[in-house]
């Protein structure tokens, strides 16, 4: 292990984190809020630690697989620990609660332990939501885009942190790929922020809710989430931008380059939009003929909530925990679907669901043609045997993690529905679940061990299981998972 390169990159990451806290510090300073002192101390500590670690001598600049895995995993943990300091130093939350909250923010989960969000100081609220925007595209990708590169080793960081079964570079150089992705990210952010401001939101609230939407996180400034804004315009703007944020960001670049035929032919995008449409229609009809008297209102809430769950954003305009069981069952299944690969959404990912459908179809075909060699093709390209095995094993690992997590959380006696949805909502980076963790509830009543376990599930969910598990696995397995 090249500890020097690991500490050096972590130092750069901490120095960057101290800079990212400055807007929150300035807001606290401008408003004279009680969190000012906490931000000043945190920025000083974080910048100092980053400066010292970043100046450590490095014998070899080359980064291998093990270093890449360590930097990504430790990077998210260290970033979360230092990011939790403002909450602790201001006396707002205990360390475990603060760590849970920041992990939830950075992993774009949106689960919260804060029972009254509206009394938080403006600086803390801003930092809390900004963590969504930072974590949405990836904190290491941010470092690659805006700080000096580490040569060929940056691809290990990109590959380990990027959502989806593969990590394709848009441009030959990793830095150029990261800049293209973040340029797209920033443009979408600015457009939504402008539209929400036009709809009557203050610039402050428009910014924070945009961070939660584009990052598919779900932190709000209101206890009632988006339901606090009694505006169909605001609901629809956020719903559509949640949907846009669940699309593979490389498709936006293809649109910019005029390659529209590739976008329309994209199988993952077609399946993603089809699932949203079918789920919205099914829930709308169920709501209309059960508890809603207005069809358009049922359609609006169904469309919003379907997008909030499938993109793993977790915003709410209605208490879907009191919806009919049919609608709740659809939403629960969507918790395992997630957004597209290369998006800010969490979950299993549409591309893997598409693979599963094609695998089932192939196995059925082989019943009639047992000797036929039928490759699985996505986007016209046949997937290699290694990719097939990787995706299939990911499903198995995801289910095993969900089951084990549910068993452990159920030890608190909160009920099967609450335990299962809490685990599904954290490993899928969604936030709210059902019953004990419904859209009007928080995670505050969980014990310290459960909060730490759920924090771990949020992290491995965001890093898609393998990155964390491969780090603690034997060396040979580590090399197989992340070759190159």
pLDDT of residue 484: 38
Kindly give the pairing relationship between strand 381-382 and strand 377-378.
antiparallel
Domains of the chain by start residue, with CATH: 380-481 (1.10.287)
Task: Give 322's Cβ-side CA count (13 Å radius).
Answer: 8
pLDDT confidence bin for 483, thresholds 50/70/90: very low
User: Which residues have C-beta within 8 Å of that of residue 240, sequence separation ≥ 6?
Assistant: 307
Residue 380 has pLDDT above 80, yes or no: no
442 alpha carbon, distance to own chain's centre: 18
Neighbours of 236 (CB within 10 A): 15
Residue 170 has pLDDT above 70, yes or no: no
- Enter the tokens of residue 314: 């977790």
DSSP letter, residue 384: P
Q: What is the pLDDT of residues 82-92, one digit of tens each?
A: 999 999 999 99
List the beta bridge partners of residue 382. Answer: 377
Sign of CA dihedral 241, 246, 247, 249: positive
**Rounded Cα–Cα distance for residues 12 and 388 (Å):** 36
As a residue count, the chain comes to 484
**Rounded Cα–Cα distance for residues 166 and 367 (Å):** 30
Q: Bigger pLDDT: 140 or 297?
A: 297
Neighbours of 392 (CB within 10 A): 14
Show binding-site residues.
108-109, 217, 312-313, 429
Closest by alpha carbon to 177, among 193, 157, 196? 157
| Mean per-residue pLDDT of the chain | 87
Residue 375 has pLDDT above 90, yes or no: no
Place of tokens 């956020």: 238
Q: Bigger pLDDT: 202 or 158?
A: 202
Question: Distances from the Cα of 366 to the Cαs of 370, 371, 389, in angstroms?
Answer: 5, 7, 18
**Rounded Cα–Cα distance for residues 400 and 38 (Å):** 40
Show binding-site residues for K(+).
108-109, 217, 312-313, 429
- Enter the tokens of residue 192: 């939504």
Element spanning 458, H or E? helix 448-462
Sign of CA dihedral 353, 357, 362, 367: positive
Q: What is the pLDDT of residues 317-344, one digit of tens each?
A: 999 999 999 999 999 999 999 999 888 8
Average pLDDT over residues 446-453: 95
151: left (phi over 0), alpha (psi -120 to 50) or beta: left
**Can you give the pTM of this predicted structure?**
0.90
Residue 374's SS3 state is coil
Q: How many percent of the chain have pLDDT more than 70?
A: 88
Q: Bigger pLDDT: 472 or 75?
A: 75
Q: What is the pLDDT of residues 266-284, one digit of tens each?
A: 999 999 999 999 999 999 9
Between vectors from CA 107 to CA 104 and to CA 112, what angle results, nearest 5°? 15
């Amino acid at each position: 292990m090249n500890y020097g390169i690991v500490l050096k990159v972590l130092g750069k990451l901490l120095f960057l984190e101290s800079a990212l806290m400055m807007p929150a510090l300035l807001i606290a300073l401008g408003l004279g809020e009680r969190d000012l002192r906490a931000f000043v101390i945190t920025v000083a500590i974080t910048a100092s630690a980053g400066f010292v670690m970043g100046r450590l001598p490095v014998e070899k600049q080359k980064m291998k697989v093990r270093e890449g895995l360590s930097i990504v995993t430790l990077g998210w943990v260290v970033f979360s620990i230092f990011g939790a300091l403002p909450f602790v130093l201001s006396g707002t939350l205990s360390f475990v609660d603060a760590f849970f909250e920041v992990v939830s923010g950075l992993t774009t989960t949106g689960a919260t332990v804060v029972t009254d969000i509206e009394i938080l100081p403006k600086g803390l609220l801003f930092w809390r939501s900004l963590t969504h925007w930072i974590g949405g595209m990836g904190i290491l990708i941010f470092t690659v885009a805006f700080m000096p590169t580490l040569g060929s080793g940056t691809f290990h960081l990109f590959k380990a942190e990027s959502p989806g079964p593969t990590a394709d570079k848009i441009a030959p150089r990793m830095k150029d790929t990261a800049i293209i992705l973040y340029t797209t990210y920033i443009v979408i952010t600015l457009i939504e922020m402008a539209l929400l401001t036009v709809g009557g939101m203050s610039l402050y609230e428009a910014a924070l809710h945009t961070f939660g939407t584009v990052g598919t996180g779900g932190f709000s400034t209101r206890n009632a989430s988006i339901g606090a804004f009694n505006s169909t315009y605001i609901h629809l703007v956020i719903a559509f931008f949640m949907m846009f944020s669940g699309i593979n960001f490389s498709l936006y670049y293809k649109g910019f380059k005029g390659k529209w035929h590739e976008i329309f032919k994209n199988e993952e995008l077609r399946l993603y939009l089809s699932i949203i449409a079918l789920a919205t229609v099914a829930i709308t009809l169920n709501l209309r003929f059960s508890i809603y008297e207005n069809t358009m209102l049922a359609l609006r809430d169904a469309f919003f909530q379907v997008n909030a769950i499938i993109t793993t954003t977790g915003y709410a305009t209605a208490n879907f925990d009191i919806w009919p069981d049919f609608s709740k069952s659809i939403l629960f299944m969507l918790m395992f679907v997630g957004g597209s690969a290369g998006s800010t959404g969490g979950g299993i990912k549409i591309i893997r669901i598409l693979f599963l459908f094609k695998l089932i179809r192939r196995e059925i075909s082989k019943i009639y043609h047992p000797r036929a060699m039928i490759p699985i093709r996505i986007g016209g390209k046949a997937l290699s045997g290694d990719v097939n095995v990787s995706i299939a094993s990911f499903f198995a690992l995801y289910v095993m993690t969900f089951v084990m997590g549910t068993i452990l959380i159920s030890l608190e006696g909160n009920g099967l529905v609450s335990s299962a949805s809490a685990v599904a909502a954290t490993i899928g980076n969604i936030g709210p679940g059902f019953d004990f963790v419904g859209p009007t509830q928080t995670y505050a009543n969980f014990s310290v061990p459960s909060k730490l376990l759920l924090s771990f599930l949020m992290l491995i969910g965001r890093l898609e299981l393998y990155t964390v598990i491969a780090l603690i696995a034997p060396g040979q397995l580590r090399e197989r998972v992340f070759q190159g």
